[in-house]
Structure 1
Amino acid sequence: MTASTVSPVTTSPAAIRRRIRSGAFQGHTGGQAPGYLQGNLAILPEPYASDFLRFCVANPKPCPLLGVGEPGNPHLVGLGEDLDIRTDVPRYRIFRDGELVDTVSDLCHVWRDDLVAFAIGCSFSFEDALLRAGIRVPHIAAGRNVPMYATHLETNACGPFAGPMVVSMRAFKPRDAIRAMVLSERQPLAHGAPLHFGDPAAIGIADIMTPDFGDPPVMADGEVPVFWACGVTPQLAIRRARPEFAITHDPGHMLITDRLAEQGA
């Protein structure tokens, strides 16, 4: 076991957050804290928060809201009593005027009193249900990050926030693909049922082996690609809105909450 891995069977969400906070866990969080909701992260200055909230409400598939913070408050108590947005995600992205300028492991040096944090549901959360049903999840089995792709599917614009939908992909045998669709539909806070399966070109993906985010996919002959809405979608909307400052998670490096995935509470 390396310093950036931790057993998903015996480790609680709070324990993983403590390891992230101390720097002992720095990897992607796929397969961690099975049964609990993981969250994408978007942090914006207060003047942008209202429009971004409307963007999430208008686009519930890629942006299912788990929690919204108060300006300057790094704690989302409803998602975890000891949770601190500034330190409890393995890697963050920092944007200035819509451009990615840095990737960091904590936000203490850049946190501001006007920042509003948004936690958005993640498809990692339903993967435990697939594993418990005996369905192999390719990127977990391979120890990789999930592949993610920008599509030609457009989101509903709100104020300056707009842009294409991002999807995550997992490939299954046809029988397992159907079961994965049914199981994921039960978890709307983790993006729910997939948006598409089959031909990636139908949603604007030119080369499935070259994702825009994450690692290249693991696919075997006869497997069907299945695509879920992805919480990286807001990162493209933030790029288009070009706020003077913004923070997101690094794709695949999520906020692990204390909320149960299947109950959503």
Structure 2
Amino acid sequence: MSLTSTTLLRPHALETGRDVRLYARSNPCPNTSGLAPTYLQANLIILPSKYASDFRLLCARNPVPCPLIAESSKAGRWDSVQSHLPGLDGQTVLTDVDLRNDAPKYNVYKDSQLVKPGCSNIMEEWSDDHVAFLIGCSFSFESALALAGLSPLHTTLKRNVPMYRTTIPLSPAGVFTGSTFVVSMRPYKSSDIPRVRDITRAFSATHGEPIAWGWEAVKALGIEDINSPQWGDAPITLDGTPLGRRLEYDDLVPVFWGCGVTPQEAVMRADLKGVVMAHSPGYMLLLDCKDSDITS
């Protein structure tokens, strides 16, 4: 596989979250890792209003994979949000937004089945009964890692982060039962993991520090093949070698974080009725607040 086989040209001069949103409204956009450094990125899940209370409870019971940042200011509103971040109001988190059109790619589910993957907008599917929820994204702490000289491999290679379904159960909430964590993975040298943990621990609103690391964690999380993620790009080393062929790379180990694709997995497991919408994994909604707004 070519290193650039899944990569679009990176758009230039997108310095803020608003820049990325406006660009995405009318242009094909790559995965958003590395875009508008220091601006927070968010996962989207958009539900019929009858499921909203149960989803809030799911987030409260599972704050690591589902850290709730904000939601529609009321049902049907695609242009304003109310914040769940302490000390930040909705306009600080996100203004001048069209939640139907400002993520680069969306997924559409009908009766819990994925029926429209990777579409450019959800203008036709949105209704006055829908409520959008914004969940923290681990792309948000990648700028801090880069500043410390710990840029994730997928950003260096201009690829999407690999994401995996695990066997770690979520705490159930209402209709959301029987689901499991989704995790994202970034490989690091074993000697760098203490620094990686220290840096990402401050980002509790965007999944916080890793939940597991090392080759033994692959089996513990129930991941069958590190080279075959369910979402994103397969992990490779700098010379293009699949990460799983690690004999020459004994000091490079997988490190796993909670992932905001977890709500999409929960939707598919819950057998929800009606139309549910979400971002396409790796193609996030960029916000107006910055990492300095959520870290001490």
Q: Say whether the fold is shared (TM-score over 0.5).
A: yes
Whether 1:121 aligns to 2:136 is yes
Q: Deviation per CA, 1:105-154, whole angstroms, max 9, x where unpaired?
A: 11111110000000000000000000000113100011100000011100
**Which residue pairs with 1:165 in the alignment?**
181
Quote the Cα distance in structure 2 between the aligned partners of 1:76 and 1:146.
Answer: 29
User: Paired residue for 2:234, among 186, 199, 216?
Assistant: 216
Quote the Cα distance in structure 2 between the aligned partners of 1:83 and 1:16.
Answer: 11
Matches within 5 A, 1:125-204: 125-162=140-177, 163-198=179-214, 199=216, 200-204=218-222
Runs (4+) off by over 4 Å: none
Tell me by how many angstroms 1:3 deviates. Answer: 6.9
**Which residue pairs with 1:235 in the alignment?**
264
Which consecutive residues of structure 1, in runs of 5 or more, have no partner in the other structure? none
Do the aligned partners of 1:121 and 1:190 also contact (CA within 8 Å) in 2? Answer: yes
State the Cα RMSD in Å.
1.6
Share of identical aligned residues, percent? 42
Quote the Cα distance in structure 1 between the aligned partners of 2:24 and 2:139.
Answer: 17
Quote the Cα distance in structure 1 between the aligned partners of 2:221 and 2:8.
Answer: 38
Which stretch shows the higher mean deviation, 72-81 or 243-252?
Answer: 72-81
Quote the Cα distance in structure 2 between the aligned partners of 1:179 and 1:259.
Answer: 25
Do the aligned partners of 1:151 and 1:203 also contact (CA within 8 Å) in 2? Answer: yes
Question: Alignment partner of 1:88: what SS?
Answer: coil
Do the aligned partners of 2:11 and 2:29 also contact (CA within 8 Å) in 1? Answer: no
Quote the Cα distance in structure 1 between the aligned partners of 2:174 and 2:269.
Answer: 11
Whether 1:32 aligns to 2:50 is no
User: Paired residue for 1:256, among 262, 274, 286?
Assistant: 286
Quote the Cα distance in structure 2 between the aligned partners of 1:188 and 1:29.
Answer: 20
Question: Alignment partner of 1:157: what SS?
Answer: coil
Do the aligned partners of 2:166 and 2:182 also contact (CA within 8 Å) in 1? Answer: yes
**Which residue pairs with 1:74 in the alignment?**
78
The size of the alignment, in residue pairs, is 262
TM-score (norm 1): 0.95
User: Paired residue for 1:5, among 2, 7, 10?
Assistant: 10
Do the aligned partners of 1:7 and 1:32 also contact (CA within 8 Å) in 2? Answer: no
The letter for the 2-side match of 1:18 is L
Whether 1:15 aligns to 2:19 is yes
Do the aligned partners of 1:37 and 1:264 also contact (CA within 8 Å) in 2? Answer: no
Matches within 5 A, 1:38-49: 38-49=41-52
The letter for the 2-side match of 1:188 is S
Quote the Cα distance in structure 2 between the aligned partners of 1:183 and 1:76.
Answer: 31
Quote the Cα distance in structure 2 between the aligned partners of 1:123 and 1:7.
Answer: 22
Question: Alignment partner of 2:292: what SS?
Answer: coil
Q: Deviation per CA, 1:43-82, whole angstroms, max 9, x where unpaired?
A: 0001111111111111100111110111000023422210
Quote the Cα distance in structure 1 between the aligned partners of 2:95 and 2:206.
Answer: 21
**Which residue pairs with 1:247 in the alignment?**
277
Tell me by how many angstroms 1:26 deviates. Answer: 2.0
